[in-house]
Amino acid sequence: MTLHMKKIILCLISVLALTVSTEAQEYMTTTKLKAQWRKQPVKVTDGGQTPDVITLLKAFNEQYPTWVISEILKREPAIKDGDQWESTDDYRVLVDRKNGYADLASETNIDQAEACVWLKDNGHRIFALRTAQENDPTPSILCWYDYNPETQTMTPAKSPADTFRPYLPSGQLGYILPMQGTDFEINEYYMGLPTLRHVYKWNQKQMTYDGAYLADFEYQSIVGDPETKTISESGIDWTHYALIKTVDRNRPILCLATFKSDRIKELMMFSEFDGELVRMDSFSGQPDFLMMDVRWKKVTILEGVEEEP
C-alpha cells in the first residue's frame, strides 16, 4: 500500500468518525420523542437499588437525547443539591436530588423540561419527565416509567394523563410535576377562564385522583366595569362546576353552583369578553336547561387569586 493510499484511508476513517460523532449529537424533537418513548424500555447503567433523578435522567437521555436534558446534565455537577444554576440566556437549571426533582425552566419560549421520581413500596420507582421544545408542532409531552431495581430497567408505564379527558374537546392540558411534595397535577385550560387544576395523590403504589380545584378568581360584574370582584366575595361555598360550549368553541362558559336536594340552589356563570372574565348572570332556584344538558363535577375553591402566567 502506497503512502498516498494510506492517507486516503486515514482521511476516510476520519470523515466516518466525524459523521458518527455528529449523528450521536443530533437531538430528538418532541414529535419524534412522542412517537418513540413508549416502544421500548430504557436500560439504566449502574442504576442499582436507589438511583436518583439524575441517574434516571441520564439513562433516558442516552437513549433519547434532547438539548434540554443534555443541558441539565451538563450543568448538574456544578449545582449544589437543592440549588440552581443561572444562565445569561434567561433560563435556569435546578437540581434537587434529595426530593427527586430536576428541571430547566425559563420565562421565555425556549426548550424546557422537568423530571421527578416517586418511591414505591415494592422498591420500584416511578420516573416522570415532561418536556417541550420551541417551535415544535407537538405540545409538551409526558413520559412515565416504572424502574425495576432487579433488572435496572425503566419500563414505559401508564400515567394519569393516559385516561384523563378534558371537559370539552377545546380544552388544553398541562402537566405539573412536584418540585416539593408528591402531588401530580393535570391543568385544564380554556381561553379566558381560570385554570382547572386536577390533583392526584401518591399512595406509594399509584396516583389516585383527589379532585378538581379552582383558585379564587377576579371577574367583572358587567362588561367594561373597571372594578373587579373575586368569587370568594360572594360568600357562597361553591361545590360544583360545569362548562358549556358556545358558538365560539374556544370561549366556553364556566358555571359554578351549589346544590340542595339534587337541585341547583345558587348559580353563577362566567365567560371571557375582550380579554376580561365577566359574570354573565346569576340564578336563584332551578334553571331546568342546565340540569338537562350539563355534566356537573365537584370542585373546591382555593384561597388566593390565581396569578396570570
pLDDT tens digits, 162-194: 999 999 998 999 999 999 999 999 999 998 999
308 pLDDT higher than 80: no
Based on the fold, state whether residues 150 and 220 are members of the same structural domain. Answer: no
Residue at 17 is within a domain: no
223 pLDDT higher than 90: no
Residue 87: pLDDT band by 50, 70, 90 thresholds?
A: confident
Residue at 87 is within a domain: yes
Based on the fold, state whether residues 89 and 198 are members of the same structural domain. Answer: no
Among 5-9, 85-89, 151-155, 249-253, the least confident range = 5-9
Position 306 scores a pLDDT of: 61
Based on the fold, state whether residues 230 and 139 are members of the same structural domain. Answer: no
* DSSP character at residue 123: S
**To the nearest whole number, what is the mean pLDDT of the chain?**
86
Query: How is 68-105 classified by DSSP, letter by letter?
Result: HHHHHHHHGGGSPTTEEEE-TTS-EEEEETTTTEEEEE
* DSSP character at residue 77: G
143, β-bridge pairs: 129
Residue at 245 is within a domain: yes
- Do residues 131 and 112 make contact, with C-beta atoms less than 8 angstroms apart? yes
Based on the fold, state whether residues 178 and 151 are members of the same structural domain. Answer: no
Based on the fold, state whether residues 86 and 152 are members of the same structural domain. Answer: yes
Residue at 19 is within a domain: no
152 pLDDT higher than 80: yes
Based on the fold, state whether residues 179 and 306 are members of the same structural domain. Answer: yes
Query: How is 33-45 classified by DSSP, letter by letter?
Result: HHHHTTSS-EE-T
- Do residues 250 and 172 make contact, with C-beta atoms less than 8 angstroms apart? no
Based on the fold, state whether residues 186 and 102 are members of the same structural domain. Answer: no
Based on the fold, state whether residues 152 and 178 are members of the same structural domain. Answer: no
Residue at 289 is within a domain: yes
Position 19 scores a pLDDT of: 38
Among 21-25, 31-35, 62-66, the least confident range = 21-25
Q: Domain limits at 211?
A: 174-309
C-alpha cell at 40: 421500548
Instruction: Count how many domains the chain has.
Output: 2
pTM: 0.85
Based on the fold, state whether residues 191 and 286 are members of the same structural domain. Answer: yes
